[in-house]
């Protein structure tokens, strides 16, 4: 399932928040556990330990009173000691302390964790055992006190009772010491455990906090990386706004930003193609306006020059006939006059040819489109120009595709275009070279390439090559390529040029298939 960009960023930060929440809950839980541990020790085991210590101290006092009583020989002093023992160290006091301690142990069971229940149960059993022994010890001590209180005690019975009391006192003392030591050890164990848990809890909290921070930094970096294409998109939009339609973001992925970036790239390519199309149309419109203006001027020039030029040519021919019949004082004068008339005739013919070019451009003929074999037309043009090309030292290479389809063209106008291109290629190779003519089918068109090995031309010259009156040749009119392009556009085709300075030039024609 593909998640949106907003959802992924939300999930990333949600994970961070959940992690910090878990760390906080863990900290609170550990603090609560430590609080219960402190309460268990301070309000439970520590109180029980104090009670055990107090009972042990009272029992020790009672033992001292019993020993002092047995050491006295005077009956009066012994009875006084017994009265003091019954007043200040009553046996019931120890029983009351044991009962209070047992009640506190029962209350402790409610706040203690499950792990402490067995120990508390053992503690209650010990207290119950001590209580039972103390009840028995109290009765035995009272019987000894009673025996010593009489005027003539039975010495053998008193000795037996005294031995039993001493034995019970020693056993109860040991039990009380063991109880106090057990509680002290338990307190030490719980305190040590609490300290160890606190240390481990601190390490765990620090580790989890560091992990949460690292996770937060990772989520932030991941979010920044996810949103990085947005900055690229903004820069691309800015470049488009400044007219740079070549901006391509190249963002990969399947999220909204990547889809938007791909749509942006497509839009930029469409705008670039549209701009190129508009530029080409503007250039074509400007060229058409130029040709229209040139056509109007050419028509006026042809109208004003053609008729007088025809009269001049006719008169020069008549004058030449007259010169043939005339006599001159010397042969040199006769030859000079004939050379002058020949020169005038050549110039008149050249001007007539120029006016014919202007007239063709001013009044382009509508092509008569019929299926034509372009290779046959090329063969005819090359055969017609063979002598001229051979004299110029140009080697012709024909690379015609064997399956070249027919094209829709006006054969006369097509021959005019090919002758113009062959003449330009010959003039570009004044010292000879190789001229390659190639044909190949391309999609719905047929492509013809006329390539020479001449001097080539710069990019600046190539950009103005099809403009009317632009020429780099002395005596050129600058109309041949403009007229050729006009003819091909009227055919629904195109004419383009590729040139590298010092390596030659290639003209590429495209004509629609028949």
Asked if residue 88 has pLDDT above 60, the reply is no
- Residue 511 near residue 448 (C-beta atoms within 8 A): yes
Instruction: Kindly give the pairing relationship between strand 394-399 and strand 407-409.
Output: unpaired
d(CA 304, CA 339): 28
Q: What is the pLDDT of residue 248?
A: 67
Compute how many other C-beta atoms are within 10 angstroms of the C-beta atom of residue 458: 11
For residue range 142-152, list pLDDT tens digits in order: 776 666 666 55
- Residue 237 near residue 271 (C-beta atoms within 8 A): no
Compute how many other C-beta atoms are within 10 angstroms of the C-beta atom of residue 97: 19
Distances (CA, A) of 187 to 122, 183, 192, 406, 499: 15, 6, 8, 110, 100
**What pairs with residue 350 in β-bridges?**
none
- Band (511; pLDDT cuts 50, 70, 90): very high
User: In sequence order, which ranges of 385-448 are alpha helices (DSSP H)?
Assistant: 386-391, 411-428
For residue range 102-119, list pLDDT tens digits in order: 888 888 777 777 778 888
Asked if residue 1 has pLDDT above 50, the reply is no
d(CA 415, CA 380): 9
Residue 292: how many CA atoms within 13 Å on its side-chain side?
A: 6
The whole-model pTM stands at: 0.41
Q: What is the pLDDT of residue 286?
A: 74
Q: What is the pLDDT of residue 363?
A: 58
Asked if residue 341 has pLDDT above 80, the reply is no
Q: What is the pLDDT of residue 77?
A: 63
Residue with tokens 């947005």: 230
For residue range 352-374, list pLDDT tens digits in order: 766 766 666 555 567 888 899 99
Structure tokens at 319: 């004058």
- Band (383; pLDDT cuts 50, 70, 90): confident
Asked if residue 475 has pLDDT above 60, the reply is no
Of 306 and 308, which is predicted with more confidence? Answer: 308
d(CA 375, CA 320): 45
Compute how many other C-beta atoms are within 10 angstroms of the C-beta atom of residue 499: 22
For residue range 402-451, list pLDDT tens digits in order: 888 999 998 888 888 898 899 888 888 888 899 999 999 988 899 999 99
The mean of the pLDDT values for the chain is 78
- Residue 82 near residue 149 (C-beta atoms within 8 A): yes
Range scoring the smallest mean pLDDT among 5-14, 323-332, 468-477: 468-477
Complete DSSP assignment for 364-376? PPPP--EEE-HHH
- Residue 236 near residue 269 (C-beta atoms within 8 A): no
Compute how many other C-beta atoms are within 10 angstroms of the C-beta atom of residue 222: 13
Find all residues with CB under 8 Å of 422, minimum gap 6, and list them.
381, 382, 385, 389, 435, 450
Of 267 and 150, which is predicted with more confidence? Answer: 267
DSSP state of 44: I
């Amino acid at each position: 399932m593909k998640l949106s960009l907003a959802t992924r960023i939300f999930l990333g930060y949600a994970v961070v928040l959940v992690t910090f929440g878990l760390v906080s809950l863990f900290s609170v839980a550990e603090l609560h556990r430590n609080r219960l541990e402190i309460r268990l020790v301070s309000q439970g085991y520590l109180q029980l330990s104090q009670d055990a210590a107090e009972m042990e101290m009272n029992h020790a006092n009672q033992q001292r009173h019993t020993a002092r009583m047995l050491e006295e020989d005077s009956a009066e002093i012994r009875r006084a000691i017994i009265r003091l023992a019954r007043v200040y160290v009553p046996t019931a006091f120890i029983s009351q302390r044991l009962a209070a301690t047992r009640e506190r142990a029962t209350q402790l069971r409610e706040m203690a964790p499950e792990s402490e229940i067995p120990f508390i149960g053992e503690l209650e059993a010990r207290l119950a055992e001590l209580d039972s022994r103390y009840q028995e010890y109290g009765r035995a001590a009272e019987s000894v006190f009673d025996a010593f209180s009489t005027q003539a005690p039975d010495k053998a019975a008193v000795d037996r009772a005294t031995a039993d009391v001493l034995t019970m006192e020693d056993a109860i003392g040991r039990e009380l010491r063991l109880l106090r030591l057990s509680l002290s050890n338990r307190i030490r164990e719980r305190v040590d455990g609490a300290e160890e848990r606190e240390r481990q809890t601190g390490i765990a909290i620090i580790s989890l906090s560091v992990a949460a921070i690292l996770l937060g930094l990772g989520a932030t970096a991941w979010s920044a990386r996810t949103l990085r294409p947005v900055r690229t998109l903004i820069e691309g939009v800015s470049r488009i706004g400044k007219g740079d339609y070549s901006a391509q973001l190249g963002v990969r992925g399947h999220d909204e930003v990547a889809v938007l970036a791909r749509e942006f790239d497509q839009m930029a390519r469409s705008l670039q193609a549209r701009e190129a199309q508009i530029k080409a149309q503007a250039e074509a419109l400007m060229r058409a306006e130029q040709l229209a203006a040139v056509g109007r001027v050419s028509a006026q020039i042809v109208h004003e020059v053609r008729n007088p030029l025809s009269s001049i040519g006719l008169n020069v021919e008549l004058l030449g006939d007259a010169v043939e019949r005339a006599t001159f004082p010397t042969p040199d004068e006769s030859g000079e006059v004939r050379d002058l008339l020949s020169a005038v005739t050549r110039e008149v013919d050249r001007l007539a040819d120029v006016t014919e070019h202007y007239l063709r451009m001013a009044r382009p003929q509508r092509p008569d489109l019929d299926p034509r074999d372009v290779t046959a037309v090329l063969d005819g043009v090359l055969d017609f120009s063979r002598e001229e090309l051979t004299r110029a030292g140009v080697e012709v290479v024909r690379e015609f595709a064997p399956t070249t389809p027919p094209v829709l063209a006006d054969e006369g106008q097509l021959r005019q275009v090919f002758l113009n291109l062959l003449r330009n290629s010959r003039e570009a190779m004044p010292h000879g070279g190789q001229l390659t003519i190639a044909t190949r089918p391309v999609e719905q068109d047929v492509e013809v390439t006329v390539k020479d090995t001449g001097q080539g031309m710069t990019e600046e010259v190539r950009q103005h090559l099809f403009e009317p009156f632009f020429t780099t040749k002395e005596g050129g009119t600058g109309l041949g390529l403009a007229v050729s392009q006009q003819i091909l556009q009227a055919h629904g085709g195109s004419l383009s040029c590729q040139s590298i300075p010092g390596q030659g030039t290639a003209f590429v024609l495209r004509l629609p298939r028949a």
